[in-house]
Amino acid sequence: MSDSKQETANKLPPSLHFEQRGAVGILRLSRPHKRNALDDATIGGIEKFFAAVPDDIKSVVIHGEGEHFCAGLDLSELSERDIAAGIAHSRAWHRAFERIEFGRVPALAALHGAVVGGGLELAAACHIRVAERSAYYALPEGSRGIFLGGGGSVRLPRLIGTSRVIDMMLTGRTYGADEGASLGLSHYVVEPGAGLTTAIELAERIAGNAPMTNFAAMHVLPRNAEQDRASGLLMEALMSAIAQGDPEAKRRLRDFLEKRTPKTVHR
């Protein structure tokens, strides 16, 4: 492991494990005895990791050790918090997940087992979600007397609609992998044991894209979806000009026009 990779690994708490495969970084939630519930140290480690992703990593896969992706917030940390501390705690999650959603590289989540509460909020901050058939989704906050605090009240309604999020919170409704995919909670459904492999394959494909195009997809598309039509079209024109003016884009276009790269076909 290079010095920069070792430094990255050393900064992480024991609940997170980092490895690299080519241009893909793999970040593992490593609290299987807690179903990978997220404590303060883990959230802080996620923020630090995505704030300083090594330069030669072009995409990142997040997955969970053991039988579950993530069962949400470690509730043992809530018992002594007052209102001010609760606000600070939620904002810490916001900072960490903003680093994922609007970071330097695309992030993918490989989901299996419980994707619950804060675990679903973490998955929603990723750009691509691959679910094994064992994955199930829930927001049990209503029965716990708490509310979403990791950005889920903003991201999840945009994925599946406000009324479905209300239903999940009020009734404790759960969705399985297939139904979750049809609603937008994941992009792919794969067989048990294939989630991480599939996510890495997709991450490798993403890592091969022009960096400026990846940046535009991550940063411009979600913002355009939230602004007025005229502003969105102007942003699109500006980003299109920036992307196609990049030397890497010019090289790729020459390769295509001179038939050195294949045409797009249905996979």
Which residues are catalytically annotated? Answer: 121, 141
Classify 258 as helix, strand or coil.
coil
Residue 254 sits at the vertex; the CA angle it makes with 249 and 258, to the nearest 5 degrees, is 150
**Separation in Å, CA 209 to CA 65, 105, 132, 249:** 29, 11, 25, 10
* Whether the Cβ atoms of residue 20 and residue 26 lie closer than 8 Å to each other: yes
d(CA 147, CA 138) in angstroms, rounded, equals 13
Strand order in the sheet with 16-21: 16-21, 24-29, 59-64, 107-111, 128-132, 188-190
Based on the number of CB atoms within 10 Å of its own CB, is 183 exposed (0-12), middle (13-18) or buried (19 or more)? Answer: middle
Quote the tokens at residue 16.
């997170």
First vs last C-alpha separation in the chain:
35
* Whether the Cβ atoms of residue 180 and residue 4 lie closer than 8 Å to each other: no
Positions of E strands within 30-174 = 59-64, 107-111, 114-116, 128-132, 136-138
